Amino acid sequence: MPLALAPLGVLLEVRQLVGGQAFAQRMLAMGLGPGRQIRLMQREGNHVVLAIGATRFGIGRGVAQKILVAEAGEGRA
């Protein structure tokens, strides 16, 4: 599911970045890449706030739509 639609406060795992190479590089520079565990803390208007460990930052909803996540531990084969 896209990060923009994920439930608030639940531990999530980034599964895929859907975008070009420049987008993926930008997300990786922010610490967002496949396998990383994050939490969606707030969703307001066109922005979302997420947490990676103790660090919190905001991204646009359009960017959050390109980050595919699943609840941590879900769907492991």
Locus of tokens 């859907």: 18
Quote the number of domains for the chain.
1
C-beta separation of 3 from 69 below 8 A = yes
**pLDDT score, position 77:** 44
Within a domain: 77: no
**pLDDT score, position 64:** 96
Within a domain: 35: yes
CATH classification at residue 36: 2.30.30.90
* pTM strictly above 0.85: yes
Q: Is 9 exposed, middle or buried (CB count within 10 Å of its CB: 0-12, 13-18, 19+)?
A: exposed
**pLDDT score, position 73:** 76
Which residue type sits at 37? Q
Mean pLDDT (the chain) is 92
Q: Tell me the per-residue pLDDT of 47-68, one tens digit each, with 9 for 90 and over.
A: 999 999 899 999 999 999 999 9
Domain hosting 32: range is: 3-71
Within a domain: 76: no
